[in-house]
Structure 1
Amino acid sequence: MRAAIYARYSSDRQHERSIDDQVALCEKHLASLGGGSAEVYADYAISGAHLASRPSASRMLEDAAEGKFDIVIAEALDRLSRDQEHIAAIYKQLTFAGVKLITVSEGTVDELHIGLKGTMNAVFLRDLAAKIRRGQTGRVKAGKVPGGKAFGYDVVRQLDARGEPLRGERAINDEQAEIVRRIFKEYAAGMTAREIAKGLNNDGIPSPFGGDWNASSINGNRARRSGILYNEGYLGFIIYNRVRMVKDPATGKRISRPNPPEEWLVEEAPHLRIIENDVWEAVQARKATANAKPFRQRRKPPHIFSGLIKCGKCGGGYTAKGGGYLGCTRHRESGVCNNGQTIKLETVEQRVLGGIQQRLLAPELVEEALKAYEEERARLRKEALGNKKKLVRRRGAVQREIDACVRAVLDGLLSDAIKQRLPELEQELAQLDRDLAALEDDNPLVEFHPQAAAAWKKRMEDLSGALKGIGPDKSQAREIIRDMVDRIELHPRLARGQFDIQLFGSLPGILNIMGGENKLGPKSAVQLVAEEGLEPPTRGL
């Protein structure tokens, strides 16, 4: 009897001996079945919630498909996976390969085990997450830090009266606190985050992660309240539940998503204050002023298409090389691109601006495009509604069939057909839920105002005048044009110095222009379905 043993422990809080214990238990069970030695597949400190993150489990399934063993033995089903979909997939793959699945806890595994134990394991994961959250919430309410260590603080390690470690205690690190105060004072005095980072690096001060400082670690993210300058912990607050972690079903990776402020849990911790109120308010006022400006106005680009010009071969940036010429950065800095051709910045600007005037400043083309766009969006809307109705109907039918199978099992009417059918139904139900969620998450369709074409015509007439030196000033025209362009690709021809230029329009920017005074906000703009560009590209402008 050719056998394989699978073992796994789920976190670094468990010990590697857990693997040895599982293997010993499985070997003893294998001996009782009359088997001999077995190939061991073990995943160390890896969660059982997703199969893609476990290399040994994946290798075991590949070897099963190649016929290298006849049975797989594990301590319990949850060692293979706690996810309903994945445990069903593992069972199907092993059954298709003619491999029997046996666990010490459940014995020979069949379809009923997969359905019922898969549900129980999924409930366990949900309950475990709720218990962890409840414990962290209680810790915050007691004035303790639920996890992690921010720059400026030390973890206090001490024991309680019973000899148990006290968790969540923090104390100010005086040396790091002085660095935090320096950052806040310099920013409040008018220095930029880049200037502050440069000063810290020049003084040999290590960043929170031990390397060099950069602007992003100082600025952070306003929505997530991350970074040095947004951390309210320096005011003496403990804030919990700013983000929630969700697992991508396709990759198994944990992704953080911000929670609304009303869901945050905030507790005062005066002993952790590092920054005084007046300094904090001065910094936040300056941050608010900077964030109120449209992104592209916060730092004026060196030229009209700065940051938008890309190499058509490698996708890297085309930047100034000297003498008014542009060259591929990746070719110049690392040599990973073989595009060594250069082009005059003036040539790129003339050709792109000419293409914009020819292709986008023609009102009749815009009216025709708008009409076609509305027709296509109407078709897609109708199609999406039809798909949703079909999915909802099918989900209802599957749920009813599952309920009937469960009632039959409870009534003692267990059959091979039910054993086979129940896991298939649960897997289909899970897929239907994902499909419905995907439809709900789809970006909303864009509705145009009836006067959109007229608004576009007026704005383009103003822009055309600005490009010729009349009407609105050129700085305004510059910003309008940058909003209209997503990227410019330079494709070198065989003849040196000759290029094809592809211009990709930015639909969010164009829609904002069409909106006249009632512009779509930045949040709405980035949610547009066709955000990636306006096709087809205008080749050879």
Structure 2
Amino acid sequence: MTKAEGEINEMHIGLGGTMSALFLKQLAQKTHRGLEGRVRNGKSAGGISYGYRAVRALRTDGSVTTGEREIVENEAATVRRIFEGYAAGLSARALAAALNAEGICSPANVKNAGTWGPSTISGNWKRGTGILNNEAYIGVLVWNRQRFVKDPATGKRQARLNPPEKWVIREVEHLRIIDDDLWQRVKERQGAIREEMNPAGVQDSGLRPERARRPTYLLSRLIKCGCCGATYTLINKTRYGCSAVRNKGTAICTNRTTIRREAVEQRVLAGLREHLLHPALLGTFVEEYRTAWNAAQADTQAARAKAERELAQVEKKIAGLLSAIEDGMYHPSMKEKMAALENRKRSLAAQVAESPEPAVLRMHPSLGDLYLQKIGDLVNALSDPAVRVQAAEAMRALISEIQMVPAADAPDGHRIELSGDLAGILALGDAETTKPPREARAWSYLLVAGVGFEPTTFRL
């Protein structure tokens, strides 16, 4: 019994329930359509990402604007810091700890608001959550990426990804905080980490986060036993030893010699400096510089030569037309053709004038000193806390393998054989190094890895 409808019977229940369900469904569709229209107009459909704030302004009719956002500069600076730190090799956990230590407040719409956590930064790349996955920071608004459905068993809402063709994407360049290059470097690092966690690329396979964990020490996972090829691991807090003899017995390997971790690292770094300072490598360095210079000049010289050849042909045609006119062979069509040739001549002349003359390569007298300086700064780059993470990652990427060969007459009972790409090692002394380089800046010209810097093995 209700005051409005009186007695309630089965018909009221059935019709009323049906009408209510239809009303809710239509309301959801209308709301969804309204939000879609707002996004297509370049406005936010709801929620405020970190780095932005809502803008409220009165319209001429007295109503208040909705969906407008603007950048909060101090939060945008934090966003840039997170992207730059992650691209440079810092983990989400390390970034969160640093932000918390400085008392920088996290987004207000996350759990434990006020403090940063790794998930706040890394989020979920498929769903576009987390600071590092928010396309708004590159001026792109993505809406309808996912929907929510109710689990019939628990009654709770669960997120489900929509197919990409249902996403609504709009450019909002005025909301850009991160440039495309920095965004791409972050995406490349995220992809590399996912590949390490699932190297086989098996779809829907469980990820193994421990595979992507950063090595604890500079040479971890690179050191191999020269007898059986197994990995040298820390058998205690300070010494490396063959893992095969410890785990599989002397039937597999008989190398029970151990070596201090600090001794290995010191010998590898000292050996790199010693071998890279060899006069032969200095000559190779200079020759590679010359080769890179010639390659860089080739395209410019080819374009200038082509323009000069075409200019000579155009001038020849103009001279021919002038000779024909002087001989009394004038025709009205010649005027139009002459005008076209003159325009082309001016264009080619300007192109030749703008193209510099082929420069003569003069080797700077301090080029050898530059090489020596880079090698001398190798250890310093790996010791400087400001660039230690980046330099260590670059160093590890340039070393293919370190073979530990037991030898009673060698220091620490081991002969060390190092295999690696010497080309990129030259750039490790640069404080700007953030990833394993295939090329390094020398003065104002490019030094490119080539024949003289192929992967090499030498003993330490």
User: Could you tell me the TM-score, scaled by structure 2's length?
Assistant: 0.43
Q: Which has the higher contact order (CA 8 A, sep 6+)?
A: 2
User: Could you tell me the TM-score, scaled by structure 1's length?
Assistant: 0.37
Whose Rg is larger? 2
